[in-house]
Structure 1
């Protein structure tokens, strides 16, 4: 989205795009560190829910995607065929990571919190389900924004 919203040269757009991804990756790593630290201090076991597994897989895939993109777009390391291959794989990988981060990870975390807090009354379930639908619609809209061409 940085390429579509940031006015300026292609190089400036690329730099902003890379910086935003780097900040997002650092925030994700800090978040996972905070969760492990909280679990350790509270005596809660780590990595025992689907939410935690999906979160760890998502952050690892995101980190690998960022590393691969940073290394392969450097002129000395890439040629035309490699660049095409990585762009094609990168587009599939980006959509997979987007779906995992925005939809799967958020939805499983929402359900996990709902169950752990014992929120089983009608109004609470309605709020959680409505929030889940908003997360799904947000994920779809972001995905469509990235895929659809600009006019």
Structure 2
């Protein structure tokens, strides 16, 4: 999986794009969409939690978790714990974000799970959970044997990148779906909010691209000791 390219430049771009994505999604939902709420007479405020938590959680924090193990100049055990913790936070935020979408639909009389975005979203959060549990049990606690860790690590990395790419694609569909609904309700197609949503989607895709580039870039071969990494 080594490309012979140092991951550091890619990782720097990841941090910059991640910050930009967070700022954009917050501006969209706080300024243009009116804010965030778990309980409100305005059910749209409940839904606003969904894109904010999904992007900050599964996309940005999840992406930082992927690149953290390689990019941080720390001891292996510390990096492993950071990697695990970031994925746990991403998973929790993702679950809450999906619950917000269901809550909004249920309280607004809107059907659930009718779109491709929602189907893929359930698939992504389910796979993310399975991947997290597998990584925790195999590489963290109680931990598999060195042979099991060595044999399963490439599959763990491959499946993790597949799930992450699927998450980026699902997020892109979500931006498209929401913007289509808004434009059908009268939002100007070339207005500032529409442009902001499209730019947020593009930044999200670029962020995911550089996360993957950072993950597959490697300046050296992995050592035997690194097979204990989650």
Report if the CA contact (8 A) 2:69-2:80 is conserved. Answer: yes
Question: Which of these residues, 87, 101, 110, is aligned with residue 44 of structure 1?
Answer: 110
For residue 75 of structure 1, report the CA deviation from its aligned partner: 7.3
Cα deviations by residue, 1:67-118 (Å, 9 ceiling, x for unpaired)? 00111125765234422332121111111111011x2111101110111112
Q: Which residue of 1 aligns with 2:180?
A: 115
Report what 2:157 is aligned to.
91
Identify the range of structure 1 (56-65 vs 141-150) with the bigger mean alpha-carbon deviation. Answer: 141-150
Q: Does 1:26 align with 2:92?
A: yes
Alignment of 1:72-91 (within 5 A): 72-74=138-140, 78-91=144-157
State the TM-score, normalizing by the size of structure 1: 0.85
Partner of 1:44, secondary structure, is: coil
**1:133 paired residue number:** 202
Task: Provide closer, same or farther for how the CA distance between residues 120 and 53 of structure 1 changes in structure 2, counting only shifts above 3 A.
Answer: farther
* Consecutive unaligned residues in structure 2, runs of 5 or more: 1-66, 221-230
Q: Cα–Cα, structure 1 residues 32 and 87, in superposed 2: closer, same or farther, change >3 Å?
A: same
Structure 2 equivalent of residue 10 of structure 1: 76
Structure (1/2) with the larger helix percentage? 1
The counterpart of 1:147, out of the listed 201, 216, 220, is 216
Distance 1:20 1:130, change over 3 A: closer
Aligned residues: 150
TM-score (normalizing by structure 2): 0.58
Summarize the Cα distance change of 1:39–1:80 in structure 2 as closer, same or farther, 3 Å threshold: same
Shift in Å at residue 135 of structure 1? 2.3
Structure 1 unaligned residues grouped into runs of 5+ = none
Q: Report if aligned partners of 1:4, 1:150 keep a CA contact under 8 Å in 2.
A: no
2: CA distance, partners of 1:6 / 1:127: 32
